[in-house]
Amino acid sequence: MSDTVISVENISKCYQIGEFGSGSLRNDIQEWFRKKKENLNEIISNKNWSLKNVSFEINRGDIVGIIGSNGAGKSTLLKILSKVTSPTNGKIKGKGKIASLLEVGTGFHPDLTGRENIFLNGAILGMRKKEIERNLDNIISFSGVGKYIDTPVKRYSSGMYVRLAFAVAAHLESDILIVDEVLSVGDAAFQKKCIGKISELSRIQGKTVLFVSHNLNSIRSLCNRALFLEKGSLKYDGNVNEAIQMYTEGFLSDNETLPFSDFKTEEKSFIKVEQIAINNSNRNPVKLFEGNNSLDIEISGEVFAEKFVSFEFKLFDKDMMPLLFYSPDHYEGLSQKIMPGKFSLRQKVELPKQINKGNYFGSIYLTDPGFDYHVKFENAINIQIDGYPTKSGHVFEYRNGAGFLYLH
């Protein structure tokens, strides 16, 4: 008997761009007259293919990492596999019950308490009441929000949402667990706890896990297989390290200058980022030279409530090994107060002059003082450094509230 639990055959997903094809005859007629000077065929063909002819099979017990740049089709693929949306073309065959965690707060009602939402979310995921009651204590304990379990979840932070939602999904008696990159909302300790739980689900319970994350170290340590998506197409299916190498090398070999985009803002966030500029440019790659390894970062956009905001910057080498974590606001308690309306936040990050020349990736985050992430711009900054080589070895330095760790 075959161990295949998911079979995907040539699936494609197409979305209509613009108002034409809105599903309303009246709106489409209005759009037609508004664009009467344009070619009708151009309007009709104004479509965006998020996925194009993707095929693969997943076996029972596999932990499969799905990687790719923003807009590669990763989240669309998970939504199709979770049956949240249907493919435009192609077929999907699956065996067993699926539990999915795709977006923060999905399946939660803001006016219900955490305890009540466990029963609501569990029912949406297909759990029977007795099954939920049997796992209730374990769910609450794993989530770490027991103190607030009888508080309406509209008062929860995004991190608390994710903790509770993951705890419910992880304790569902399912065969397949599908997890999008929402885990990056939680703090580092909870992310480590989740990764340990995912490994246990596969190793001990034999569950199949599909896992999307920008944290390539998590993909490397957790998954036994990886799918690399690029512009809606499946470019590679197989060894994790080879998939990661293809992903990073493909990004670094792109010689055209690309604008910074795809700022991921959490659904409940009070802030909207419109532009990120580094050294007065909003395009990749960011080039630094000997003796000038500083990044002048400017983030602009709109804020909808008076809040304190903290800035974080992370630097990775081409293999996605972490080299630098810079968070002066958190270390020094200097979160910046931002008022409602348009805002511009500036932060200077000094990289060590001794850092090896080469290609690096940068990530930018905006958080609140409780370490809940509101804006994430992950691994999307290509930094090219032409600097002085360092001596081999490990060096740790603490300067101006920032921790520097060099790995060679």
Q: What is the pLDDT of residues 195-208, one digit of tens each?
A: 888 888 888 888 89
Q: Determine if the peptide bond prior to 340 is cis (ω within 30°).
A: no
Residue 68 has pLDDT above 90, yes or no: no
Find residue 264's DSSP bridge partners: 376
- 236 in the same domain as 339: no
- 50 in the same domain as 80: yes
* Average pLDDT score over the chain: 77
Our count of domains for the chain comes to: 2
Per-residue model confidence as pLDDT tens digits over 243-263? 988 887 766 555 445 556 556
The CATH number assigned to the domain holding 19 equals: 3.40.50.300
- 368 in the same domain as 227: no
Give the C-alpha separation, 108 to 112, whole Å: 8
Asked if residue 86 is part of any domain, the answer here is yes
Query: Which pLDDT score, from 0 to 100, does residue 252 have?
Result: 57
Asked if residue 50 is part of any domain, the answer here is yes
* 126: region left, alpha or beta (phi > 0 left; psi from -120 to 50 alpha): left
Q: What end-to-end distance do the CA atoms of the chain give, in Å?
A: 48
Asked if residue 147 is part of any domain, the answer here is no
Q: What is the mean pLDDT of residues 326-335?
A: 57
How many Å is the Cα radius of gyration of the chain?
23
Give the C-alpha separation, 311 to 346, whole Å: 10
CB 103 within 8 A of CB 179: no
Per-residue model confidence as pLDDT tens digits over 21-31? 545 566 656 65
The CATH number assigned to the domain holding 326 equals: 2.70.50.60
Residue 391 has pLDDT above 50, yes or no: no
- 225 in the same domain as 274: no
Of these ranges, 78-87, 120-129, 258-267, 268-277, the one predicted with the greatest mean pLDDT is: 78-87
Token pair belonging to 152: 């309406």
Domain that holds residue 297: 258-406
CB 208 within 8 A of CB 202: yes
- Taking CA atoms, 236 is separated from 228, 247, 248, in Å, by 5, 9, 13
Of the candidates 313, 331, 319, 311, the residue with the CA atom closest to the CA atom of residue 356: 319
- 353 in the same domain as 295: yes
Token pair belonging to 231: 């512009």
Q: For the whole model, what pTM was predicted?
A: 0.67
User: Does residue 55 or residue 332 have the better pLDDT?
Assistant: 55
- 329 in the same domain as 247: no
Asked if residue 165 is part of any domain, the answer here is no
Per-residue model confidence as pLDDT tens digits over 17-55? 555 454 556 665 665 566 554 554 544 445 678 899 999
CB 247 within 8 A of CB 319: no
- 353 in the same domain as 380: yes
Asked if residue 228 is part of any domain, the answer here is yes
Query: Which pLDDT score, from 0 to 100, does residue 245 have?
Result: 85
Token pair belonging to 252: 């670094």
- Taking CA atoms, 187 is separated from 116, 117, 182, 190, 330, in Å, by 24, 22, 11, 5, 13
119-122 own/partner pairs: CB under 8 Å, 24+ apart: 121/165, 121/168, 122/168, 122/172
- 240 in the same domain as 271: no
Q: Do the bridges between strand 395-399 and strand 373-386 make them parallel or antiparallel, or are there none, so unpaired?
A: unpaired
- 291 in the same domain as 249: no
Residue 40, classed as helix, strand or coil, is helix
CB 158 within 8 A of CB 374: yes
Least confident interval from 15-29, 75-89, 287-301, 369-383 = 15-29
Token pair belonging to 46: 């104004």
Residue 399: phi and psi, rounded to 5, are -145, 130
- 335 in the same domain as 361: yes
Q: How confident is the model at residue 215 (pLDDT cuts 50, 70, 90)?
A: confident
- 45 in the same domain as 11: yes
Q: What is the dihedral of CA 262, 268, 271, 274, to 10 degrees?
A: 20
Token pair belonging to 363: 């990530």
- 230 in the same domain as 368: no
Least confident interval from 308-312, 313-317, 378-382 = 378-382
Asked if residue 115 is part of any domain, the answer here is no
Of the candidates 320, 267, 333, 329, the residue with the CA atom closest to the CA atom of residue 299: 329
Q: How confident is the model at residue 63 (pLDDT cuts 50, 70, 90)?
A: very high
Asked if residue 152 is part of any domain, the answer here is no
Task: Read off the DSSP letter of residue 388.
Answer: P
Neighbouring residues of 408: CB distance < 8 A, sequence distance ≥ 6? 356, 390, 392, 393, 394
Asked if residue 188 is part of any domain, the answer here is no
